Amino acid sequence: MCTATFANGDRMPLLGLGTWKSAPGEVGAAVREAIRLGYRHIDCASVYGNEAEVGEAIGAAIAAGEVTREELWITSKLWCNAHGRDNVEPALRRTLADLGLAWLDLYLIHWPVPIRPGVAFPASGDDLLPPAQLPLADTWAGMEGAQEAGLTRHIGVSNFSSRKLRDLLGHCRLRPEVNQVERHPLLQQPQLLADCAAAGVHVTAYSPLGSGDRPAALKGADEPMLLENPVIVAIAAEHGCSPAQVLIAWQLQGGLSTIPKSVNPARLRENLAAAAIELTPADLEQIATLDQHLRLVNGAFWLLEGSLWTMESLWDEV
Ligand code: A2P
């Protein structure tokens, strides 16, 4: 399995298992099966509401001697209601307790959007804190403290634009090492990737398969189905593989890590096997033409009436 190597020599497997949308009652079996198949990177978050079950599965795999803690790469994310220097460590300790772990490999700020403590999801603009009231640098200081306390080996961000990342890099003592963002052929993000590469920040691609199982409220009308894209389907046919495997191979070949979600044993196996597929330069050229700058997870849920967020201020794009 290809890996990304960090400054301290730690190596993150590029292909991980996503657990967003994996339902309680299903996610544990999926994680256990994934580890049996050879997955060594599991992507979690407290807001997914399933970390305790993920943790049970990891614990069972370790207890059964299938894997050691050191062989696994476990990522989790700080939810938006725990922004602020003093809130990070307690939130991370809750995640560690849920996962049954002594440390994380990577902890990310999930969104650059602080919401009121105690609010899980904002119902009105009042539930969001004005960004100026809680600067991201203040939350980052808490992330640095958590890393220094040994609760996580690495720290990073998610859903950060180039501008927000640049601002943070100007204020940090310990650098963010990862930016996890939506990325797939319909949203290729070349500028963000170039900016992250120049800053030495590794990029993890989420929703690599187009997240077709997103809740209806997060879906636009007439959204294209990435897995049915004719160019992707044709490339898959040429290679005798599946469209999902083409989408995963495309990320890995670009040097990105990616976290396709599945709770289906056959698809877990299929997705892992994508690491062996080599796309040709002609395939890559064709995929490059598919970019539509289409965000599937566009953060519209933050733009409530009375909130100060706009699409422009969230993504720093006009
Ligand atoms: P399932 O969990 O039933 O396998 P993303 O990773 O972009 O969020 O996409 C996840 C969605 O893609 C889920 O609906 C998942 O369903 C589905 N999926 C995962 N792997 C495959 C695959 N190899 N072929 C088709 N669909 C897949």
CB count within 10 Å of CB 83 equals: 29
Residue 205 has pLDDT above 80, yes or no: yes
Which residues are CB-contacts of 77 (< 8 A; sequence separation ≥ 6)? 44, 45, 46, 47, 107, 108, 109, 110, 158, 180
Task: Ligand 1, residue 270: give the atom nearest the CA.
Answer: 23
Q: Mean per-residue pLDDT for 40-54?
A: 98
Among 186, 193, 180, 192, residue whose Cα is nearest residue 258: 180
Q: Whose CA is nearest to atom 2 of ligand 1?
A: 262
Residue 35 has pLDDT above 80, yes or no: yes
Q: Whose CA is nearest to atom 24 of ligand 1?
A: 244
**What whole-number distance in Å separates Cα of residue 205 and Cα of residue 129?**
28
Tokens 């040097």 correspond to 255
pLDDT in tens, 252-277: 999 999 999 999 999 999 999 999 99
Q: Whose CA is nearest to atom 18 of ligand 1?
A: 262
Q: Is 252 exposed, middle or buried (0-12, 13-18, 19+ CB in 10 A)?
A: buried
Helix (H, G, I), strand (E, B) or coil at 295: coil
pLDDT band for 158, please (50, 70, 90 cuts).
Answer: very high
- DSSP type of residue 95: H
pLDDT band for 217, please (50, 70, 90 cuts).
Answer: confident
pLDDT band for 141, please (50, 70, 90 cuts).
Answer: very high
**What whole-number distance in Å separates Cα of residue 71 and Cα of residue 76?**
17
Residue 222 has pLDDT above 90, yes or no: no
Task: Ligand 1, residue 213: give the atom nearest the CA.
Answer: 14
pLDDT band for 307, please (50, 70, 90 cuts).
Answer: confident
Residue 47: what pLDDT? 97
Residue 18 has pLDDT above 90, yes or no: yes
Two structure tokens written together for 136: 């991201």
Residue 56: what pLDDT? 98
**What whole-number distance in Å separates Cα of residue 49 and Cα of residue 156?**
21
| Mean pLDDT computed over every residue of the chain | 96
Among 79, 145, 74, 66, residue whose Cα is nearest residue 110: 79
Which residues are catalytically annotated?
Answer: 48
